[in-house]
Amino acid sequence: MSVIVCNAGPLIALAGIGRAEILRDLFGEVLVSRAVQTEVEAGGRKGAGADIFRTAGWLRVKPLRQPPDALLDSLLDSGEAATIFLARQESADLVVIDEVKGRRVARNVYRLAVIGTGRLLVEAKQASLISHVRPSLERIRGNGYWIADKIFAEILRQAEE
């Protein structure tokens, strides 16, 4: 069984379009830190995800055994730092982070396998959970979640759309 740790951004993005269950359908249980729970319950810009922890039994809040190390705290916000630290603590197979800096630190400094919301949507299409990636990406953008044009195009290329 794979251990998956998710940051707030992907949860907020997917909850904002009513598709947070993609994480469950792809991975089963997903772990998050308390810092991420706080960010998600705050809901981002439009309240997306505010009640996900009451309705998603597959989403498990896992406490950190100790605070993230000083390097993480100095480089990243508290949610990203806690996500990476939790991934290391739980020997995660995969970390889901969208923010570029967080992805780079997770991948290059801590050698973690990292994907983002766009890749989740591509994998959801490949698993026949969704028929097309573009509408979901457009709705995520429409909710105010920033996706660079270059990344948007690359996601669609990977999805063969």
Instruction: Write the pLDDT tens digit of every residue in 126-154.
Output: 999 999 999 999 999 998 888 999 999 99
Q: Flag whether the pTM goes above 0.75.
A: yes
What top-level class would CATH report for the domain 4-158? alpha beta
**pLDDT reading at 48 higher than 70:** no
Hey, what are 91's tokens? 């020997």
Q: Is 55 exposed, middle or buried (0-12, 13-18, 19+ CB in 10 A)?
A: exposed
Q: What are the structural domain ranges in the chain?
A: 4-158
pLDDT in tens, 67-101: 888 888 888 999 999 999 999 999 999 999 999 99
The pLDDT of residue 5 is 97
Q: What confidence category does residue 55 fall into, taking pLDDT thresholds of 50, 70 and 90?
A: confident
